[in-house]
């Protein structure tokens, strides 16, 4: 499915799923989903780059019987609103700092006091930055191939040029050409076994490309913040941590994930067999078992 043209797009709310919820956080209409009972342990799920709340649906199916699961779309992704620059307040809504604040705002809106933070790839960056804001409210961290020292986006020295008015005018065209067609095969390009993927796995990615301003939103995200470098944070983490890697992850390789786990005091490292970069999509049963075992051993079940 190619990206939608302007005439084919719809508002973020018009594209909502039956289970979709929206909450205005930091001035942005943020899409999220909630599953499971609120008196079970809460897991806040933060998606990978290009991901969204529905890309957690396979893992949610595995865990919702015993967990309270909240997944949200960071600005620029999924069905969260893409505000234009003239509607920004003092804070750039597409920055990583704003996304971290939104995590706690969302939990507060749902009357959740404490949570386990779960992040995949760039969502691992988000989970760590949420943790740093209020570590006393975090019960544990689950980092799935987390992006610790890099992220999708241009080099820092290019970003001032890309923020120029001239660059912004051509940005939508450039983003549309870069994204290209999104089909099942492309959705599963980072899986160990792409033949496992189904049209249902591709659907969230395709729907995201129908949201008004999706191309502008991607552009803003990749230019909003400097690349992360959270290496210095890792030795000071004081909650239980699980680092998960797929053994066939070619995006953030297992040896890098093991290095991350080794830098965190007491962290557990689990490598999932025959699994790629997004085990929540490809290997949800194995990932669910790893998370459940970790939480039980940490006394959080």
Residue-wise pLDDT for 120-149, tens only, equals 999 999 999 999 999 999 999 999 999 998
d(CA 178, CA 174) in angstroms, rounded, equals 6
Decide if pLDDT at 17 tops 90: yes
Decide if pLDDT at 165 tops 90: no
Decide if pLDDT at 5 tops 60: no
Per-residue confidence band for 3, with pLDDT thresholds at 50, 70 and 90: low
**Least confident segment among 9-13, 18-22, 86-90, 93-97:** 86-90
Torsion from C-alpha of 201, 246, 122, 250, nearest 10 degrees: -90
Question: What six digits make up the tokens of 149?
Answer: 């020292």
What is the pLDDT, as a whole number, of residue 156?
56
Cβ atoms 138, 114 nearer than 8 A: yes
Decide if pLDDT at 21 tops 90: yes
Per-residue confidence band for 8, with pLDDT thresholds at 50, 70 and 90: confident
Per-residue confidence band for 226, with pLDDT thresholds at 50, 70 and 90: confident
**Least confident segment among 1-5, 112-116, 199-203:** 1-5
Q: Domain-by-domain residue ranges, the chain?
A: 17-154+227-296
What is the pLDDT, as a whole number, of residue 173?
58
Q: Does domain 17-154+227-296 have CATH number 3.40.50.9100?
A: no
What is the pLDDT, as a whole number, of residue 145?
97
pLDDT tens for 228-260 read 899 999 999 999 999 999 999 999 999 999 999
d(CA 148, CA 36) in angstroms, rounded, equals 30
pTM: 0.91
% of the chain with per-residue pLDDT over 70: 87
What is the pLDDT, as a whole number, of residue 170?
59
Mean pLDDT over each residue of the chain, to the nearest integer: 91
Decide if pLDDT at 163 tops 90: no
What is the pLDDT, as a whole number, of residue 176?
59
Mean pLDDT of 256-270: 97
d(CA 217, CA 205) in angstroms, rounded, equals 14
């Amino acid at each position: 499915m190619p990206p939608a043209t302007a005439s084919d797009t719809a508002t973020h709310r018009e594209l909502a799923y039956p289970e979709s919820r929206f909450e205005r956080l930091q001035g942005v209409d943020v899409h999220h989903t909630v599953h499971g009972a609120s008196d079970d342990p809460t897991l806040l799920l933060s998606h990978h780059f290009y991901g969204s709340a529905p890309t957690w649906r396979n893992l949610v199916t595995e865990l919702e019987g015993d967990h309270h699961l909240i997944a949200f779309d960071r600005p620029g992704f999924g069905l969260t609103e893409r505000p234009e620059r003239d509607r920004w307040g003092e804070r750039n809504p597409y920055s990583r700092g704003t996304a971290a604040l939104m995590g706690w705002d969302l939990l507060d809106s749902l009357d959740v006091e404490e949570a386990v933070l779960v992040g995949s790839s760039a969502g691992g960056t988000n989970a760590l930055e949420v943790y740093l804001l209020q570590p006393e409210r975090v019960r544990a961290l689950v980092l799935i191939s987390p992006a610790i020292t890099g992220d999708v986006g241009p080099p820092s020295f290019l970003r001032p040029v890309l923020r120029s008015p001239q660059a912004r005018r051509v940005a939508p065209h450039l983003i549309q050409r870069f994204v290209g067609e999104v089909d099942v095969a492309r959705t599963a390009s980072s899986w160990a076994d792409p033949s496992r993927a189904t049209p249902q796995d591709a659907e969230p990615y395709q729907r995201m490309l129908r949201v008004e301003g999706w191309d502008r939103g991607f552009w803003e995200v990749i230019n909003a913040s400097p690349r992360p470098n959270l290496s210095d944070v890792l030795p000071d983490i004081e909650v239980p941590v699980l680092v998960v890697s797929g053994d066939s992850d070619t995006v953030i390789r297992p040896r890098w994930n093991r290095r991350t786990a080794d830098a965190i005091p007491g962290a557990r490292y689990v490598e999932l067999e025959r699994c790629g970069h997004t085990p929540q999509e490809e290997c949800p049963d194995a990932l669910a078992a790893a998370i459940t075992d970790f939480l039980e051993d940490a006394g959080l079940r």
